[in-house]
Amino acid sequence: MTPLAIFGISNDGLNLAVKLVVLFLVAVWAALVFWTYTDARRRIEDQMLVGCAALASFVFPFLGTVVYAIVRPPEYLEDVHERELEIAAAEARLQQVEHLRCPHCDFEIEKNFLRCPSCLRRLKEPCGTCGRPLDPRWKICPYCEAEVGQAAPRRPRRAPAAGSSERPRATRPSVTAEQAPVTRSRPPAQ
């Protein structure tokens, strides 16, 4: 019994080499069909298009995969979704920065307001040295480098001259902005 001749080749060694080349080409073809299917699943949402890409790669060996590689989407679906989330988060941050609102009355405020102009509630504490608004999380004032909670340095009072008849003035206790009542000033009566 003579072995089956492939492509009319009757030499056993050459016949084995041709069989190995054909087996290699079939293995590469199957791997390309599998790669096309898995890559299309990661890049295309529509399952019908994924099936068409895999079928074209199966029906047209090598050529179907080359055509798919040319026309496939440039990004993975995960990258597209991640970029959309980043854009949405950036838009939310911009909207938050542009449109600050009072947490108590929802009135539109600016970031450097100490009090809400509508409900008069305290929004931020002023720096004891420079008076600029401070974030409650800050340890020092970024404008004047004073420690938060530190009072402004007081000037020493001069003692009256020895021969002067000046009496020392009575000092009023200092009232913080939180303790001071909010009043509206009236024009002086004439």
Helix axes 47-59 and 63-71, enclosed angle (nearest 10): 150
Judge whether residue 1 has pLDDT over 50.
no
In 3D, which of 141, 129, 128, 135 has the Cα closest to residue 178?
128
Quick one: pLDDT band at residue 59, thresholds 50, 70, 90? very high
Q: Does 190 have pLDDT greater than 80?
A: no
Q: What is the pLDDT of residue 56?
A: 95
pLDDT reported for residue 161: 59
Q: Is 98 helix (H, G, I), strand (E, B) or coil?
A: helix
Which pLDDT score, from 0 to 100, does residue 29 have?
96
For residue 92, give the H/E element and its range. Answer: helix 77-98
pLDDT of 11 reads 78
pLDDT tier, 84 (very low <50, low <70, confident <90, very high otherwise): very high
* pTM score of the predicted model: 0.47
Task: Quote the pLDDT of residue 188.
Answer: 56
Sketch the domain layout of the chain as residue ranges. 12-76
pLDDT per position as a tens digit, 10-55: 778 888 888 899 999 999 999 999 999 999 999 999 999 999 999 9
pLDDT digit string (tens) for 104-159?
898 888 878 888 889 988 888 888 888 888 887 888 888 888 888 655 554 555 65
Is the sign of the CA dihedral 45, 47, 51, 56 positive or negative?
negative
> What end-to-end distance do the CA atoms of the chain give, in Å?
134
Determine the residue type at 169. R
* pLDDT at residue 94 in the model: 82
pLDDT for 138: 84
- Statement: residue 67 has pLDDT above 90: yes
Asked whether the predicted pLDDT for residue 74 surpasses 90, the reply is yes
Average pLDDT over residues 153-172: 53
